[in-house]
Amino acid sequence: MTAEDPIEIELDGIIQSQINPQIGLDFNRLLRAFLRQDPDIIMLGEIRDEESARIALRAAQTGHLVLSTLHTNDAISAISRLQQLGIQQHEIENSLLLVIAQRLVRKICPKCGGNLINSCDCHQGYRGRIGVYQFLHWQQNGYQTDFENLRESGLEKVSQGITDEK
């Protein structure tokens, strides 16, 4: 089940609901309705305020897998952002399993290798994008990051020749 504002991609087999504040259909009301239906997975378009954060955490604490977005600069900042929304550290530790921060970077054109040869139609030396990621997951001894930061993940893509440092 999803609660989105707006529904960006229609997915077969998924119950998707669009937020409509004009008729009182907000994230919080939808989340409460979702919990009564006992779904396995709940997707929130975005955690925007304390109430939606609390409902999402409550759903996670009752065995639902909750997926959402939260605007931060990196994975570790998600913890402080939830705290800014009024969520206590122990509530976060009891609910949060994984945070993924992502950025898209340009891919070097496979045809010209970024050298802008005349016969290549990429026009800039790049074609497409690829994600760089930082993972933060909970273990019994605390949060662990799989990448020190997004830059390290990006530099790995540079060393593989997928992108450059520009």
Q: Residue 70: pLDDT above 70?
A: yes
User: In which band, very low, low, confident or very high, does the pLDDT at 58 lie, cut at 50, 70 and 90?
Assistant: confident
What range does the domain containing 91 cover? 1-96
Residues 18 and 92 occupy one common structural domain? yes
Measured CA to CA, the distance from residue 80 to residue 86 in angstroms comes to: 10
Which amino acid is present at 159?
S
Q: Residue 138: pLDDT above 70?
A: yes
Residues 2 and 84 occupy one common structural domain? yes
Q: Cα 14 from chain centroid?
A: 19
Greater model confidence, 21 or 116: 21
Q: What is the pLDDT of residue 27?
A: 80
Q: Residue 93: pLDDT above 70?
A: yes
Q: Residue 7: pLDDT above 90?
A: yes
Residue 154: how many CB atoms within 10 A of its CB?
Answer: 21
pTM strictly above 0.85? no
Residue 163: how many CB atoms within 10 A of its CB?
Answer: 20
Measured CA to CA, the distance from residue 46 to residue 53 in angstroms comes to: 9
Mean pLDDT of 39-66: 89
Counting residues of the chain whose pLDDT is more than 70, the rounded percentage is 95
User: In which band, very low, low, confident or very high, does the pLDDT at 154 lie, cut at 50, 70 and 90?
Assistant: very high
Domain C-terminal end among 96, 111, 129: 96
Instruction: Report the domain count for the chain.
Output: 2
Closest CA to 137 of 78, 81, 50, 53: 78
The per-residue pLDDT of the chain, averaged, comes to 89
Q: 21 in helix, strand or coil?
A: helix
Domain C-terminal end among 67, 96, 125: 96
